[in-house]
Amino acid sequence: MKYLDKILLFFLVIIIFGSCSTKTVKKVVSLDNITAGRPYSPAIEVGNTLYLSGQIAVDPATGEMIESGIEDQTDQVLKNIKAIVEKAGYSMSDVVKCNVMLSDIEFYGQMNSIYKTYFPEEPPARKAFAVKDLPMGALVEIDAIAIK
Amino acid sequence: MKRIIHTKNAPAAVGPYSQAVEIKGTLYISGQVPIDPSTGEIVGDNVSEQTEQVLRNIGAILEEAGYSYRDVVKSTCFLTDMANFTEMNEVYAGFYTNEQPARAAFAVKGLPLGAMIEIETIAVK
């Protein structure tokens, strides 16, 4: 290799490693059986922040929606969130923000009664509202942001 | 510290908001509806065409801010009808091919200017 080529290679290596160290790395957090065929990741981590996709009450063991009412659905949604949060190396106490979408605002009280058991102290900031409709006819969908 | 993003290649805001705001390496893009920036009109008779225009508008804002689709970490998709979910997904998947952003999607009662879809976006780099 010519001397000039070596110099160029040296600078190329410096540039590549330099850009790697400053670039925030985007990391996909995936679970085995939660997103089949849908164009999103269960969660994305960048730096120390974790963005979770909206979760509905699909039991990951069966791939089926829990059909037995808002309380059981809220419980399954938060189980799914907890599984993703923990898979990423975070804990539920790292969750800073949730958005709760309900198919009927009448579910607000029952949803809260389950929700509070997952966030017993320093609960995250939150907004909650009723929408027209949720994927797969779900009664509740929750997305979240966690930071550690 | 806060940087307001504005480009003619995406529709002008239709209310009192910025197209996007960047702060500390995070870009918050306002919900985009399928307005053609050259005419200011909603385009597309179906959700495929509308989703395509929305994602092009998002692309123009990302580019203006110095970001790309690969930097997107979270999308929120608002539909007017859950029946359009699959059609929206097909177009959406063409724009986000790998390391797909986290996402929430649901149907709402109505969207600005009678749009069938709106997408809100967060990008980080």
Note the pLDDT tens digit of each residue in A66-94: 998 999 999 999 999 999 999 999 999 99
Nearest to A39 among B80, B92, B109 (CB): B92
Cα separation, A62 vs A65, in Å, equals 8
- Convert the pLDDT of each residue in A96-124 to its tens digit: 999 999 999 999 999 999 999 999 999 99
Instruction: Supply the pTM of this predicted model.
Output: 0.90
Please enumerate in sequence order all residues whose Cβ is within 8 A of that of A112, keeping only pairs 6 or more positions apart, or say none: none
Q: Which of A51, A132, A134 faces B74 most closely, judged by CB atoms?
A: A51
Residues of chain A neighbouring B82 (CB-CB closer than 8 A): 132-135
A55 φ, ψ (degrees, to nearest 5): -110, 140
Residues 41-60 of A with CB under 8 A from B: 41-44, 46-47, 49, 51-54
A77/B contact by beta carbon, under 8 A = no
Please tell me the distance from the alpha carbon of residue A46 to that of residue A52, in angstroms, as a whole number: 12
Q: Which residues of B touch A134 (CB under 8 A)?
A: 82, 106-107
What was the pLDDT predicted at B44? 95
pLDDT at position A10 is 54
Phi then psi for residue B11, to 5 deg, are -60, 145
- Both tokens of B51, joined, read 């989703």
B103 interfaces chain A, CB cutoff of 8 Å: yes
Measure Cα distances from A52 to A106, A144, B62 in Å. Answer: 25, 5, 21
The mean pLDDT value for B97-120 works out to 97
Which of A37-41, A136-140, B114-118 shows the lowest mean pLDDT across its residues?
Answer: A37-41
Tokens (6 digits) for A54: 């909206």
Rg (CA), chain B: 13
- Rama region for A141: left / alpha / beta (φ>0; ψ in -120 to 50; rest): beta
Determine whether B16 is exposed, middle or buried from the number of CB atoms within 10 Å of its CB (0-12, 13-18, 19+): exposed
Q: Which of B100, B101, B105 sits opposite A135 (nearest CB)?
A: B105
Chain B contact set for A99 (CB, 8 A): 104
The ipTM of this complex is 0.95
Which letter does DSSP use for residue B85 in this model?
H
Whole-number Å distance between alpha carbons of B106 and A102: 10
B52-71: per-residue pLDDT in tens? 999 999 999 999 999 999 99
pLDDT tens digits, residue range A126-144?
Answer: 999 999 999 999 999 999 9
Classify the C-alpha dihedral B59-B61-B63-B68 as positive or negative.
Answer: negative
